[in-house]
Amino acid sequence: MLTLKQRWLSGLWKKYQSLPLRCLISTSISKGKQSKVPQYPVDPLITDEICESDTKIDIELVQHLEKLSLVDFANKEGLLRLQAAISLADQLRAVNTEGVEPMYSVLEDRSITLAEDEVLIGNISDDILGCAKETLEDYFVVPPGNIDYIPEDSYYEKLKDDKT
Amino acid sequence: MRIVHRKLFTVKTSKFYSTVNIKPALYRNVWRPVIGLEVHAQILSASKLFSRVCAKYGAPPNTQVGIFEAAHPGTLPVLNKRCVEAAINTALALQAQVNKVSRFDRKHYFYPDLPAGYQITQKDCPIASNGRINFIVSNPASNPKIYHHSVRLVQLQLEEDSGKSIHDAEFNRVLVDLNRAGLPLMELVFAPELHDGEEAAALVKELSLILSKLGTCSCKMEEGALRVDANISVHKESEPLGERTEVKNLNSIRSLVRAINYEIERQVDILEGSGMVVNETRRFDNVSGKTIKMRDKDTIHDYRFMPEPNLPPLWLYDSSEPNYIPSGSLDINVVRKDMKELPEETRQRLMKEYGISLENAMILVNDNSLTKYFTAVMAQNQRQARLVCNLLLNNLLGIINSLDISIENCPMAASSFGEVVDLLQNGLILHAIALKIIHAVCVDGDSRTPTEIVLANNWSKFSDELIDGIIEQVIKNNFAVVEKYRRGKKKVFKTLMGKAVAATESRADMQKVNDILKNKLDEE
Give tens-digit pLDDT for B74-98: 999 999 999 999 999 999 999 999 9
Number of domains, chain B: 3
Please check whether residues B453 and B518 belong to one and the same domain. no
Indicate yes or no: CB of B313 within 8 angstroms of CB of A141: no
The answer as to whether B146 is a domain residue is: yes
Domain endpoint, select from B427, B457, B487: B457
Number of domains, chain A: 1
The answer as to whether B414 is a domain residue is: yes
**Looking at beta carbons, which pairs linking A36-44 to residues 24 or more positions away fall under 8 Å?**
A37/A9, A37/A13, A38/A6, A38/A9, A38/A10, A38/A13, A39/A13, A40/A10, A40/A14, A41/A10, A41/A11, A41/A13, A41/A14, A42/A2, A42/A6, A42/A7, A42/A10, A42/A11, A43/A2, A43/A7, A43/A10, A43/A11, A43/A95
Q: What angle do CA B87, B90, B96 make, to 5 degrees?
A: 100
Q: Which of B213, B222, B287, B279 is nearest to B250 (CA)?
A: B222
Please check whether residues B185 and B42 belong to one and the same domain. yes
Which of residues 368 through 427 in chain B touch A, CB cutoff 8 A?
none
Q: Which of B168, B292, B499 is nearest to A137 (CA)?
A: B168
Tally C-beta pairs within 8 A across A and B: 126
The answer as to whether B310 is a domain residue is: no
pLDDT in tens, B43-63: 999 999 999 999 999 999 999
The answer as to whether A90 is a domain residue is: yes
Rounded to whole angstroms, the Cα distance separating A66 from B259 reads 37
Q: Are B497 and B466 in contact (CB under 8 A)?
A: no
The answer as to whether A31 is a domain residue is: no
Percent of chain B at pLDDT > 90 equals 40
Please check whether residues B503 and B434 belong to one and the same domain. no
Please check whether residues B44 and B123 belong to one and the same domain. yes
Check pLDDT > 60 for residue B427: yes
Q: What angle do CA B12, B15, B19 make, to 5 degrees?
A: 80
The answer as to whether B453 is a domain residue is: yes
Confidence of residue B20 (pLDDT cuts 50, 70, 90): very low
The top-scoring range by mean pLDDT among A68-77, B130-139, B184-193, B459-468 is B184-193
Question: What are the residues facing B230 on neighbouring strands?
Answer: B37, B247
Confidence of residue A41 (pLDDT cuts 50, 70, 90): low
Domain endpoint, select from B457, B481, B501: B457
The three-state secondary structure class of B326 is coil
Is the sign of the CA dihedral B425, B427, B431, B432 positive or negative? negative
Among B50, B63, B299, B330, which would you mutate to test the A interface (most chain A Cβ atoms within 10 Å of its Cβ)? B63
Q: Which of B402, B450, B398 is nearest to B429 (CA)?
A: B450
Q: Are B142 and B343 in contact (CB under 8 A)?
A: no
| Residues constituting chain A | 164
Q: Which of A62, A54, A99, A109 is nearest to A82 (CA)?
A: A62
Q: Quick one: B487 exposed, middle or buried, by C-beta within 10 A (0-12, 13-18, 19+)?
A: exposed
Rounded to whole angstroms, the Cα distance separating B418 from B430 reads 15
Question: What are the residues facing B213 on neighbouring strands?
Answer: none
Distance from CA of B301 to the nearest CA of A (A): 9
Q: Which of B194, B147, B150 is nearest to B20 (CA)?
A: B147
Domain endpoint, select from B190, B208, B229: B229
The answer as to whether B510 is a domain residue is: yes
| A43-52, B48-57, B281-290, B418-427: range with lowest mean pLDDT | A43-52
For residues B477, B480, B484 and B485, what is the CA-based torsion angle, rounded to 10 degrees?
Answer: 10
Considering only CB atoms, which chain A residues are within 8 Å of B313?
Answer: 104-105, 108, 111-112
Q: Which residue has the higher pLDDT, B329 or A49?
A: B329
Please check whether residues B88 and B159 belong to one and the same domain. yes
What is the ipTM, given to two decimal places? Answer: 0.76
For residue B145, the model assigns a pLDDT of 77
What is the amino acid identity at position A134?
Answer: E
Considering only CB atoms, which chain B residues are within 8 Å of A141?
Answer: 173-176
The answer as to whether A107 is a domain residue is: no
Please check whether residues B89 and B218 belong to one and the same domain. yes
- How many H helices and E strands in chain B? 17, 17
pLDDT in tens, B495-514: 777 777 777 766 777 777 77
Distance from CA of B117 to the nearest CA of A (A): 9
Contacts with B230 (C-beta within 8 Å, 6 or more apart), sequence order: B35, B36, B37, B38, B200, B246, B247, B250, B256, B259, B260, B263
Please check whether residues B374 and B225 belong to one and the same domain. no
Rounded to whole angstroms, the Cα distance separating A38 from A26 reads 11
Least CB–CB distance from B295: residue in A68, A107, A146 = A146
Q: Which of A100, A108, A31, A161 is nearest to B328 (CA)?
A: A108
The top-scoring range by mean pLDDT among A153-162, B10-19, B48-57 is B48-57
Q: Which residue has the higher pLDDT, B447 or B352?
A: B352
The answer as to whether A10 is a domain residue is: yes
The answer as to whether B67 is a domain residue is: yes
For residue B488, the model assigns a pLDDT of 75
pLDDT in tens, B372-403: 888 888 887 688 888 888 888 888 888 888 88
Least CB–CB distance from B63: residue in A105, A118, A125 = A125
Q: Locate the chain A residue with the closest alpha carbon to B294.
A: A146
B81/A contact by beta carbon, under 8 A: yes
Helix (H) or strand (E) holding B84: helix B81-93
As a whole number, the mean pLDDT across chain B is: 84
Its domain, for residue B114, covers: 26-229
| Residues constituting chain B | 524
- Average pLDDT of the residues in A103-108: 78
pLDDT in tens, B447-485: 788 878 777 777 777 777 777 777 777 777 777 777 777
Half-sphere exposure (CA, 13 Å, Cβ side) for B517? 29
Is the sign of the CA dihedral B311, B312, B314, B316 positive or negative? negative
The answer as to whether B12 is a domain residue is: no
Q: Are B176 and B164 in contact (CB under 8 A)?
A: yes
For residue B202, the model assigns a pLDDT of 93
Indicate yes or no: CB of A119 within 8 angstroms of CB of B54: yes
B304/A contact by beta carbon, under 8 A: yes
The answer as to whether B283 is a domain residue is: no
Q: Are B96 and B128 in contact (CB under 8 A)?
A: yes
The answer as to whether A109 is a domain residue is: no
Which of residues 13 through 52 in chain A touch B, CB cutoff 8 A?
none
B331/A contact by beta carbon, under 8 A: no
B306/A contact by beta carbon, under 8 A: no
Its domain, for residue A127, covers: 4-26+36-99+116-143+153-163
* pTM for this model (two decimals): 0.78
Q: Are A69 and A38 in contact (CB under 8 A)?
A: no
Q: Locate the chain B residue with the closest alpha carbon to A126.
A: B63
For residue B8, the model assigns a pLDDT of 34
Q: Locate the chain A residue with the closest alpha carbon to B300.
A: A68
B177/A contact by beta carbon, under 8 A: yes
Q: Are B205 and B21 in contact (CB under 8 A)?
A: no
As a whole number, the mean pLDDT across chain A is: 71
A125/B contact by beta carbon, under 8 A: yes
Any idea what the CATH number is for the domain that residue B479 is in?
1.10.10
Q: Locate the chain B residue with the closest alpha carbon to A123.
A: B63
Least CB–CB distance from A144: residue in B52, B172, B330 = B172
The answer as to whether A88 is a domain residue is: yes
- Average pLDDT of the residues in A95-108: 80
Among B44, B65, B114, which would you mutate to test the A interface (most chain A Cβ atoms within 10 Å of its Cβ)? B65
User: What backbone torsions phi and psi does residue B56 show, to the nearest 5 degrees?
Assistant: -65, 150
Please check whether residues B441 and B476 belong to one and the same domain. no
Rounded to whole angstroms, the Cα distance separating B100 from B333 reads 12
Please check whether residues B178 and B56 belong to one and the same domain. yes
| B11-15, B21-25, B221-225, B415-419: range with lowest mean pLDDT | B11-15
The three-state secondary structure class of B116 is coil
